A = this chain, B = another copy of it.
Amino acid sequence: MKKQIDLQQFPAGNLPARILMGPGPSMVDPRVYQAMAAPLVGHLDPEFVHLMDRTQELLRYTFRTENKLTIPVSGTGSAAMEASIANSVEPGTPVLICINGYFGERLADMAKRYGGDVSTIHRPWGEVFTPSEIEQALREKPAKVVAIVHAETSTGAEQPLDEIAKIVHNHGAILIVDAVTSLGGVPLSVDEIGIDICYSGTQKCISAPPGLGPITFNERALNLMQSRKAPVTSWYLDMSLVQAYWGPNRTYHHTAPITMNYALYEALRIIAEEGIENRWARHRANSEMFWEGLEDLNLKCFIPKEHRLTSLCTIQIPEGVDDAAVRKSLLEDYNIEISGGLGSLKGKIWRVGLMGYTSRKENILLLLAALKKILYK
């Protein structure tokens, strides 16, 4: 046992003020930091209950949905991903997962863990699916749950969602969409598209710290939940229990992360003030500026323009360039974080997030200038 401890080995945090341009966490508006300095109240305090109600309303605005069950899961985006699977999949449920990157693979892993009878279709990392590929897969093997990633954080590709929901519904399934790297930055309208379960994280285009996972379920998804034979294995992520806390009854389930909810509420207020369509347009305009700057540096984007995310840009690392050395110089000499590739793309691409409060012209100009200095000094 640590009977004694040398206090000098545990100095105050003193974290550096980084320019965060990786795939998340993105930078946070100073207003959000200020909101987190508000004193804690109890998780059933009448004032916190008001804040919960308002947060749900602002999340509906951001998701573009009227869904009653629209709340932040008390965990990160990965917890929200798991909540989407845990509540819709039980042992034997036929599931179709579309995999064209790291997070599709994770969805398949989770669906198997929850006992799903999992089929997968694949596109090479960086490509996207056509509606007919999904239709064909459902014809070959029916499913009750189909999951696809809107914004693949591992590749930078944006999956077009038109027509997919209709196909999925015609085959009697529900559609889960991963919007971790798109919600609040990339055009996404849950109700218009017909998404049944959609989830995200707070640390990407919403620009709050990581720690909550916004999620929304429509009636079709709730009906599937109600027809379950077995209770949800995860008690913590069982939405029927979570819903009872966030709904009018306020039935105690767990102690919500109060401070993170202060942060999310303020971040959502900022989104509403900017206006969601304006925010989407800002992300596009700034990314286009970045893409042009990359061209000037003879750097190529990994994803063709038509499927390129406006929240996350992946750059092909030129031959002969040392991936790690460039990122190290960016961090140590210029205080800028970008990220390398995951899995098979490791060493082949850089990932640059232009999300939320990070998506500002001054950050883009600086990163381009720093890359120029490092690559062509």
Interface residues of A (CB under 8 A from B): 1-2, 5, 7, 9-10, 12-18, 20, 22, 24-25, 27-28, 33, 35-43, 45, 47-48, 51, 54, 57-58, 60-61, 64-66, 74-79, 82, 86, 106, 109-110, 113-115, 189, 191-192, 201, 203, 209-211, 231-237, 252-260, 262-263, 265-266, 269, 272-273, 331, 337, 339, 342
- In the bound complex, what is the Cα–Cα distance between A190 and B77 (angstroms)? 32
- In the bound complex, what is the Cα–Cα distance between A264 and B311 (angstroms)? 31
Contact present for A40 and B12 (CB under 8 Å): no
Interface hub of A64, A77, A113, A259 (most chain B Cβ within 10 A)? A259
> How many copies of this chain?
2
Q: Determine which of B28, B42, B232, B259 lies in contact with A211 in the assembled complex, contact meaning CB atoms within 8 Å.
A: B259
- In the bound complex, what is the Cα–Cα distance between A106 and B255 (angstroms)? 14
Contact present for B75 and A233 (CB under 8 Å): no
Given contact pairs A74-B75, A74-B76, A1 touches B257 in the complex (Cβ within 8 A): no
- In the bound complex, what is the Cα–Cα distance between A155 and B41 (angstroms)? 22
- The residue in chain B whose Cβ has the minimal distance to the Cβ of A113 is B233
Contact present for A15 and B76 (CB under 8 Å): no
- In angstroms, how far is the closest chain B Cβ from the Cβ of A164? 19
Contact present for B211 and A211 (CB under 8 Å): yes
- The residue in chain B whose Cβ has the minimal distance to the Cβ of A78 is B254
Q: Which residues of B contact A24 (CB under 8 A)?
A: 255
Secondary structure type dominating chain A contacts: loop
Q: Determine which of B10, B74, B86 lies in contact with A58 in the assembled complex, contact meaning CB atoms within 8 Å.
A: B10
Q: Which residues of B contact A35 (CB under 8 A)?
A: 12-13
Contact present for A1 and B234 (CB under 8 Å): no
Q: Which residues of B contact A203 (CB under 8 A)?
A: 40, 255, 258
Contact present for A263 and B269 (CB under 8 Å): no
- In the bound complex, what is the Cα–Cα distance between A38 and B15 (angstroms)? 7
- In the bound complex, what is the Cα–Cα distance between A78 and B57 (angstroms)? 26
Q: Which residues of B contact A28 (CB under 8 A)?
A: 39-40
- In angstroms, how far is the closest chain B Cβ from the Cβ of A52? 12
Q: Determine which of B15, B25, B57, B272 lies in contact with A51 in the assembled complex, contact meaning CB atoms within 8 Å.
A: B15
Given contact pairs A189-B1, A210-B257, A211-B260, A234 touches B82 in the complex (Cβ within 8 A): yes
Contact present for B61 and A45 (CB under 8 Å): no
Q: Which residues of B contact A210 (CB under 8 A)?
A: 43, 255-259
Contact present for B106 and A235 (CB under 8 Å): yes
Q: Determine which of B16, B36, B191, B257 lies in contact with A41 in the assembled complex, contact meaning CB atoms within 8 Å.
A: B16
Interface hub of A65, A76, A253 (most chain B Cβ within 10 A)? A76
Q: Which residues of B contact A113 (CB under 8 A)?
A: 231-235
Given contact pairs A36-B259, A259-B211, A13 touches B201 in the complex (Cβ within 8 A): no
Contact present for A79 and B236 (CB under 8 Å): yes
Contact present for A15 and B36 (CB under 8 Å): no
Q: List 16 A-B contacts (CB under 8 A).
A: A2-B61, A16-B39, A16-B47, A20-B40, A20-B42, A33-B39, A42-B339, A43-B210, A76-B255, A78-B235, A82-B236, A110-B235, A209-B257, A210-B257, A211-B257, A259-B263
Given contact pairs A18-B42, A232-B113, A1 touches B65 in the complex (Cβ within 8 A): yes
Contact present for A272 and B7 (CB under 8 Å): yes
Q: Determine which of B12, B64, B110 lies in contact with A1 in the assembled complex, contact meaning CB atoms within 8 Å.
A: B64
